[in-house]
Amino acid sequence: MQKGELKEIHGSYYARYYGDGKRVTKKLGRVSDFATENDARLAFELFMREVNTEGFTPEPTTVLRTFVVQQYFPTATTRLRGSSIKGYKASWKHLEPRLGRMKVSAVRPVDVQQAMDSIVKANPHLKLATLTRVKSFAHEVFTEARLLGLRDDNPTTGVRINCSREARVKTETTAYSLDEIKSILNVLTGATKVLIAVAAYTGLRRSEIIGLRWADYDGKTLTVRRNICFGEKGEMSVEAPKTPASHAPVPVIRPLRLILDDWKSKAEIEEATGFSWVFPASFVRTEHDDDLLDDRQLTPLSPTNVLRDVILPALEKTDIQWKGYHAFRRGLATNLRALGVDDLTISEIMRHSDVQVTRRAYIKRVSEKSVEAMSRLEEAVALKKPLRKQQPRNGTALTGQRAQ
């Protein structure tokens, strides 16, 4: 088992160890990412546990903390997306101090229930959706244990999430209107303006936009061929599109085409090729895997840095609130629906595998029947005439008394 070493180099913490007989250096994060050096040390120890997973054989008596770090996460990484692993690790931070010391085979439903109740009590601000993800993660961990023969059941079965009514209220998602989009684009310039224009007029996800290369643009469409995902410490990785449906061309409307063509002409002056990122970082601080580097040895830019350094300062000049990158994707679906485009076509443009996803989570609208009903009420109020009582189909008048 390797101990490795924690090194601080040029304002960042790195883990150094030997892998396949070669010295490996892995960035854990910037110094500013950790509150104290002890926090960096804890992150280093967790990382080294994962490095030492090879040869690890879990037993029923293995404590849950060791099982999750040395068995579950290393195997899950091979089959799950980086964003899913990131979310699961956030869930584990809630469960680890409550169940981590127990043996895998000893955890009972009552223990999981008490852990969930403790999480709710300690974090009253957590929404039902977050708590559900914590429970789902626990379910996945014990499913892994059951499949390995470490136990015969899953102790998360039947566990309830006893959160408050306020926590059960779903947070309403937001979408940008066309007027808001135009106002935002008016205060942006350069790469940031192009990035937001792509988000607003194609509905591509943030990770898809950052992962665009010039070969993905043919002058008429943008085709998603990869995602750029971010780990716990902001580290980048290249992954396949989210779903098979995501791997599809998206039409580019003329206003966006003009913006993209102008941006491409400037990139060509800087000797960009089809392999070059559409949105490259201005410089690279550390070493990266080859699939993150283009022909100019640049990585994609960081959308978090762009938001902090460019977008938020620019929006201070307007009355528009930042609603998140995904609000542009929801905005496209909503704006298309307002223009009379049918839901199936919108779903195709959004590259959803199920139109119900588009209707449920992306189109922000009031039903046409509701609008018509309220219009009739408005007309009646404007005329100041008493409303006629509705007559039943059999012709019997409606009164306060039962018809005789």
Q: What is the pLDDT of residues 108-124, one digit of tens each?
A: 999 999 999 999 999 99
CA distance 37 to 43: 10
Q: Is pLDDT at 306 greater than 50 in this prediction?
A: yes
Q: What is the pTM of this model?
A: 0.65
- Which of 54-58, 317-321, 325-329, 380-384 ranks highest by mean pLDDT? 325-329
Provide CATH code, domain 178-361: 1.10.443.10
Query: d(Cα 375, Cα 55) in Å, to the nearest integer?
Result: 70
State how beta strands 12-19 and 227-230 pair: unpaired
pLDDT of 384 reads 54
Phi and psi at residue 230, to the nearest 5°: -125, 135
pLDDT for residue 400: 42
For residue 332, the model assigns a pLDDT of: 87
Residue 154 burial (CB < 10 Å; 0-12/13-18/19+)?
Answer: buried
- Predicted confidence at residue 403, as pLDDT, reads 40
pLDDT confidence tier of residue 238, bands split at 50, 70 and 90: confident
Whether 310 shows a pLDDT value over 50: the answer reads yes
Question: How high is the mean pLDDT of the chain?
Answer: 83
Residues 330/358, Cβ–Cβ less than 8 Å: no
Q: Is the pLDDT of residue 395 over 70?
A: no
How confident is the model over 68-108, as pLDDT tens digits?
Answer: 988 898 888 777 877 788 889 999 999 999 999 999 999 99
Tell me: the pLDDT tens digits for 254-297? 999 999 999 999 998 888 899 999 999 987 776 777 788 888 88
201-208 average pLDDT score = 92
Tell me how far apart the alpha carbons of residues 39 and 214 are, in angstroms, rounded to a whole number: 40
> CA-CA distances (angstroms) from residue 130 to 119, 174, 179, 233, 323?
11, 19, 33, 20, 20
What would the CATH number be for the domain defined by 66-171? 1.10.150.130
Question: 30 vs 376, which has greater pLDDT?
Answer: 30
Query: Residue 388: pLDDT band by 50, 70, 90 thresholds?
Result: low
Residue 222: closest CA among 235, 203, 196, 238: 203
pLDDT at 367 over 60: no
What distance in Å separates the CA atoms of residue 12 and residue 7, rounded to the nearest whole number?
A: 8
